[in-house]
Amino acid sequence: MVTTYFAEGFPYSLVRVVSSVFFKDSGASLQAVGLTSLYGLPWVLKFAWAPFVDAFSTKRRWVVAMETALAATLAGMALGLAGPAVLPVMSAVFIAAAILAATHDAAVDGFYLEALDKQAQARWVGFQAMSFRVALILGGGGVVYLSGRAGWAPAWFCWRPC
């Protein structure tokens, strides 16, 4: 419970919080920084593909596949800093991370609902919320702090999921 909901909150914080800081630090216009709020759309629209997650394969496989893809995406964030078109490349990487993370959320929530009965869900809901919130703090504040100390590339590599 704790690790899956931490893994749900961490990419959310990277996409929703850290992306705007990254674009501001990279010299993007205020309009471009404002457009980073659109990275939240996959979480709003995940209801459209959540039935696909339910219909094909198991929730556990979806969770593992999405976590693997998200780890690769975080590595892509660090590698995307080396090219000449940093902002367009990072925009694409953030979009991919948002879609993968929203799909991961649908799989985690489905796995949680299947694995626990209503009484167990009620017993674990506090840990669920705490894990998600700790991930928001570490994902947002931790990565921004590391980027200020060591730069963006080390910050992306230091925080990839293990």
76-107 pLDDT, tens digit each: 777 777 767 888 888 888 999 999 999 998 88
pLDDT tens, residue by residue, 101-134: 999 988 888 887 777 778 877 777 788 888 888 8
Answer for the pair 7, 67: CB distance below 8 angstroms, yes or no.
yes
Amino acid identity, residue 101?
A
Range of the domain at 81: 2-158
Rounded-to-5 percentages of helix, strand, coil across the chain: 85, 0, 15
Spatial distance between the Cα atoms of 5 and 16, rounded to a whole number of angstroms: 16
Give which of 70, 1, 23 is closest to 42, Cα–Cα.
70
What are 66's two structure tokens? 């999405």
- For residue 160, the model assigns a pLDDT of 46
Task: State the total domains in the chain.
Answer: 1
pLDDT band at 74 (very low <50, low <70, confident <90, very high): confident
- For residue 161, the model assigns a pLDDT of 44
Spatial distance between the Cα atoms of 42 and 97, rounded to a whole number of angstroms: 10
The enclosing H or E element of 145 equals helix 143-150
- For residue 71, the model assigns a pLDDT of 87
141 phi, psi to nearest 5 deg: -70, -40
Q: State the pTM of this model.
A: 0.83
Give which of 22, 34, 14 is closest to 87, Cα–Cα.
22
Whole-angstrom CA distances from 51 to 69, 123, 147 are 20, 27, 37
